Amino acid sequence: MKKAVCTFLAGVFLLPAAACARPVEPDLSDYASGMAEIPVEILGELDEETLADLVEEPKYVALTFDDGPREDTTTRLLDGLLERGAAATFFVIGQQVPGNEGLIRRMKAEGHQVGNHTYSHVRLITADMDTVVEEVHKAEALLTEAAGEGSFWLRPPYGRIGAERAELIHTPMIYWSVDPQDWKLLNKDKVVAAVLDAVRPGDIILLHDFYSTSVDAALEIVDRLQKDGYDFVTVEELFRIQGVEPQAGVLYARPDRTRSLD
């Protein structure tokens, strides 16, 4: 029913207003998520591309950014992610939070996950036990002040912490499963190629929002993979989607793969 006609009838016959708001398009979300079989009579009417979208399993991937925030590059990245409807996870260095609290708040407000990358990017595996606790807590306090209460998952700098020190950590820890070495390449095209070459559904991709070339690469990766049917979610969402309950003090390369601590 056309909305204007419906609204008119609603006035005359006192139809509930909600009846007019009903979408005209059929809701195919159950089919898209594989919850229902597609009836033959609908299948016949769909073009091939739509059909492929409905039949294919949904593909999820998590972009993660370390070593920020940095005002210019992180702002440009957030703008680009917002434009594309892509979520990401930011493992933030605590000492870079003062002065950038607005960026941290923006990350949260725009559906990204904020994580902890220690206060001063120390090598946790060789730091003494007190330093490990201090580095994690100091960053956590700054993040809580900027973003509000929450669980700030840890990405140990250089991806290493050691079994003994991991026992001090009261959140899950996140490694990665795709590392294009963006900090070394500093070249958009090479970083994009390295990620597209390696990526599989469920991957956690390591990038650094500290570098302008990495921001360019990340946005192109989103464009290319979205065209290929991927959805960009936070690390936390990736665990939830895969039905994995992450454990404190465990280092994950992906929700379905842990990494040895030593």
Which residues, 6+ apart, have CB-to-CB distance to 80 below 8 Å? 215, 218, 219, 222
Which residues, 6+ apart, have CB-to-CB distance to 17 below 8 Å? 10
The residue assigned the tokens 């990494």 is: 259
Of 235, 80, 77, whose CA–CA distance to 154 is shortest? Answer: 235
| Minimum CB distance to Ni ion, residue 69 (Å) | 13
What's the Cα-to-Cα distance from 10 to each of 2, 6, 24, 96, 113, rounded to whole Å?
Answer: 12, 6, 17, 57, 44
Query: Is 182 an interacting residue with respect to Ni ion (CB under 5 A)?
Result: no
Pattern 8-27, binding to Ni ion, x per CB under 5 A? --------------------
- The H or E element that residue 135 is part of is helix 129-147
Peptide bond connecting 180 to the previous residue in cis, omega within 30 degrees of 0: no
Closer residue to Ni ion (CB): 206 or 225: 206
Of 44, 100, 51, 46, whose CA–CA distance to 73 is shortest? Answer: 100
- 68, 94, 156, 157: which one binds Ni ion (CB under 5 A): 157
| Minimum CB distance to Ni ion, residue 200 (Å) | 24
Closer residue to Ni ion (CB): 31 or 67: 67
Of 104, 129, 102, 131, whose CA–CA distance to 118 is shortest? Answer: 131
The Cα–Cα gap between 203 and 163 comes to 24
DSSP class of 78: H
The Cα–Cα gap between 111 and 175 comes to 21
| Minimum CB distance to Ni ion, residue 158 (Å) | 7
| Minimum CB distance to Ni ion, residue 93 (Å) | 7
Stretch that binds Ni ion, among 14-22, 137-145, 149-157, 240-248 (CB under 5 A): 149-157
| Minimum CB distance to Ni ion, residue 35 (Å) | 40
Active site annotation includes 66: yes
Closer residue to Ni ion (CB): 127 or 225: 127
Choose, from 67, 203, 208, 209, the residue flagged as catalytic. Answer: 208
Of 96, 175, 162, whose CA–CA distance to 132 is shortest? Answer: 162
Number of residues that bind Ni ion (CB under 5 A): 3
Active site annotation includes 208: yes
Choose, from 66, 67, 182, 203, the residue flagged as catalytic. Answer: 66
The Cα–Cα gap between 4 and 21 comes to 11
| Minimum CB distance to Ni ion, residue 125 (Å) | 14
Closer residue to Ni ion (CB): 71 or 83: 71
Task: Please list every residue from 49 through 78 that binds Ni ion, using CB under 5 A.
Answer: 66-67
Residue whose CB is nearest to Ni ion in the complex, by number: 66
User: Which residues belong to the active site?
Assistant: 66, 208
Q: By the criterion CB under 5 A, which residues form the site for Ni ion? A: 66-67, 157
